């Protein structure tokens, strides 16, 4: 790594930093993870011995491709990790106390919330496995549509359409369960 490379990286960091963060935000919603990936992108550029004119279109395109590659690589490794964890522990569950904030409510509200969450889980359990996974990933693990699309190998719009259909199904099942 030479001095010219680190100067170019510093200028690119200033010029394209917010743009790179916006690209990463398309893939991830967690601010800490965005920041972590952001620094990984520029560290990868630095270790690659990258140096060019920071104002050129070629440099900007290279940074965009490097950013997307880091994001996709992270998503793939996360998918592999999840598959490994799911194979080790196929009966994964979410603790009800993490869904309901027990410390800030009185006992009556806590019992009611617990009953609501319990009913919700019962209704979710009635869904097909793929539908359950999609609902849990979207609403309990706060994954973005683009992450879900990448994991399932389908388009963003198909994920939205599937979730809309599943939400209608859930709503109908909840109405039937509560009546």
**Tokens describing residue 136:** 């849990």
pLDDT tens digits, 61-80 = 888 888 888 888 888 777 77
pLDDT at 109: 65
25-36 mean pLDDT: 83
Q: Are 114 and 96 in contact (CB under 8 A)?
A: yes
Check if the beta carbon of residue 75 is closer than 8 Å to that of residue 149: no
Q: What's the chain's average pLDDT?
A: 76
Q: Which fold has domain 3-88?
A: Rna Polymerase Sigma Factor; Chain: A (1.10.1740)
Asked if the model's pLDDT at residue 150 lies above 80, the reply is: yes
Q: Label each residue of 89-148 as H, E or C.
A: CCCCCCCHHHHCCHHHCCHHHHHHHHHHHHHHHHHHHCCCHHHHHHHHHHHHCCCCHHHH
pLDDT digits (tens, 9 = 90+) for 76-135: 777 777 776 666 554 444 444 444 444 555 566 666 666 677 777 778 888 888 888 888
pLDDT-based confidence at residue 164 (cuts at 50, 70, 90)? very high
Which two tokens mark 19? 């743009």
Distance CA 154, CA 44 (A): 29
pLDDT of residue 102: 46
Q: What percent of the chain has pLDDT over 70?
A: 75
Per-residue pLDDT band at 1 (split at 50, 70, 90): very low
Over its C-alpha atoms, the chain yields an Rg (Å, rounded) of 22
Specify the fold of 96-178. Answer: Arc Repressor Mutant, subunit A (1.10.10)
CA distances from 47 to 10, 17, 42, 132 (A): 13, 18, 9, 42
pLDDT score of 161 = 93
Break the chain into its structural domains and give their ranges. 3-88, 96-178
Higher pLDDT, 148 or 112: 148
């Amino acid at each position: 790594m030479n001095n010219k490379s680190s100067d170019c990286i510093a200028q690119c960091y200033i010029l394209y930093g917010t743009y790179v963060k916006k690209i990463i935000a398309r893939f991830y919603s967690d601010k800490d993870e965005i920041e972590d990936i952001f620094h990984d992108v520029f560290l990868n550029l630095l270790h690659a011995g990258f140096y060019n004119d920071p104002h050129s279109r070629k440099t900007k395109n290279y940074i965009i491709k490097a950013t997307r590659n880091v994001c996709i690589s992270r998503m793939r490794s996360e998918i592999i990790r999840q598959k490994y964890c799911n194979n080790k522990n196929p009966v994964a569950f979410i603790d009800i106390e993490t869904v309901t904030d027990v410390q800030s409510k009185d006992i009556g509200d806590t019992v009611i919330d617990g009953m609501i969450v319990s009913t919700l889980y019962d209704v979710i359990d009635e869904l097909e496995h793929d539908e359950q996974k999609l609902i849990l990933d979207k609403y309990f693990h706060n994954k973005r549509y683009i992450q879900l699309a990448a994991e399932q190998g389908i388009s963003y719009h198909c994920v939205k359409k599937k979730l809309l259909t599943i939400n209608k199904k859930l709503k109908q099942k909840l109405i039937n369960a509560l009546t």
